[in-house]
Amino acid sequence: MVIEQVTSAQNPKIKELLALQEKSRLRRERGLFVVEGRRELEHCLEAGYTLDTVFYCPAIYGSVLGGQDSRQLRRADRFTPSGECSPQLSAALAFDRPAPSGKTVTEPEGAVRGREHSPEGVKLSAPGTVTAFSGVRIVEVTPELYNKIAYRGGTEGIMAEVRARNLTLEDLALQPDPLIVVLESVEKPGNLGAVLRSADAAGADAVIICDPLTDLYNPNLIRSSLGGIFTVPCVATDSPAAIAWLKAHGIRILTAQLQDSDWYYDTDMRAGTAIVIGTESTGLTDSWRAAADAHIRIPMLGRLDSLNASVSAAILLFEAVRQRHTR
C-alpha cells in the first residue's frame, strides 16, 4: 500500500473522518472511531486497539517536537521508546524518546522501505517522520487540512481512525477486592470522561455504564478523559445485568443517595466495592436502591442538594483509596 497525500476536504476519506467524529450511528455501523493526539493514541495502542487509518501532518508534528519538517517516510533499523513499553505499543507506535539505559528495541518485522508498507501499525520516529507497518492506511495531510479536520487543538499533527472494541462484563478480569464505579444513564460525555480520569487516578478496576445515553467513543468523551477510556476497562450494559454480575461476584453495592443513607466516610470500602452514581437531575432508579448493600451520602452544607456526578465519583473513589491505604 502507498502513503496517500491529501490536500482537499472534499476527499472521500476526509469526509468519512469528519462524519465519524459527528455521528454515533456511523461509528456503530462502521465499528470505527477517531482518536487525536500522541498521548491518546499511545494509551489506545497500549490497551490493544487496532489502527485502521492514520492521518498525519509532518509539518505540525515536527514543529511540536521542535524538529525539522521532514516529509520523507523512512525505514529505521531500530527505535527507542521510553520506559517499559507494552508489546502492542512497541509493535505499533513508538515515539522519539531516549531508551532505558542499556536497552535497545529492534524494529518489528514487516517494516518496509520507501513509501510503501505492509500490515501492523505505525511508528512515529524522529520529528516529522513516520514509519508504517502492516495493514494501516496512512494519509498525509497539509497543515491547513489538518486544522480543519482536527476536533480539538494541540493534537500534535496526528490522529487516527481506530477499530472499536466493545467489552462485556465477562471480559473484566477482577483483582482481589476490586473497586468499581457504576454510572446509571450518564448523558454528558464530559462527565463520563471526568469520571474515567478519576477512576484511572484511583486505580479503579473498571467503570460500568448502565443504560448509557452517550456512546463510549464520542470525541468529547475521549478528549475529556485524556485517554482514560483506554486505561480503565469500561463496559456498557443495562442495570439488571450489572446488578446480577456484581452480586454473583460478591461485590458490595454502595449507592450514592441523600435518602436513608450514612456518611460515606463511615462506610467500609476495603472489600470488593461498587460505587453507584445516578444522574444529577433524578438520581438513581429504584432497582439500584433496592439492590444496594449500603446507601451513602456526601455532606451537603450549602443550599444546593447535589454535586456534579464526576465530583461525587472522585470524592467516593478516593475515600476508598484512603481506607485501603491507611495502615
Q: Are β-strands 294-297 and 252-256 bridged in parallel, bridged antiparallel, or unpaired?
A: parallel
- Please report, rounded to a whole number, the percentage of residues in the chain having pLDDT higher than 90: 52
Measured CA distances, 40 to 13, 97, 132, 145, 293 (Å): 22, 17, 19, 21, 37
Average pLDDT over residues 29-57: 90
Full-model pTM: 0.77
Q: Give the pLDDT confidence score for residue 184 in this predicted structure.
A: 93
- Residue 100 confidence (pLDDT) above 70: no
- Please report, rounded to a whole number, the percentage of residues in the chain having pLDDT higher than 70: 75
- pLDDT category at 114 given cuts 50, 70, 90 is very low
Domain 169-325 adopts which CATH fold? Alpha/beta knot (3.40.1280)
Specify whether domain 4-163 bears CATH 3.40.50.300.
Answer: no
Mean pLDDT, the chain, integer: 79
Q: Give the pLDDT confidence score for residue 86 in this predicted structure.
A: 36
Question: Hey, do 4-163 and 169-325 end up sharing a CATH topology, with the first three levels equal?
Answer: no
Lowest mean pLDDT among 132-146, 275-289, 295-309: 132-146
Q: Give the pLDDT confidence score for residue 77 in this predicted structure.
A: 24
Cβ-based neighbours of 132, under 8 Å, separated by 6 or more:
3, 54, 73, 111, 112, 117, 122, 123, 138
- Residue 214 confidence (pLDDT) above 70: yes
Give 72-88 pLDDT, tens digit per residue: 333 222 222 332 333 43
- The structural domains of the chain, with segments of one domain joined by +, span 4-163, 169-325
For residues 254 and 276, the answer to whether their CB atoms sit within 8 Å is yes
Lowest mean pLDDT among 29-38, 91-100, 195-204, 289-298: 91-100
Average pLDDT over residues 55-75: 55
Q: Give the pLDDT confidence score for residue 127 in this predicted structure.
A: 41
Lowest mean pLDDT among 33-47, 101-115, 168-182, 266-280: 101-115
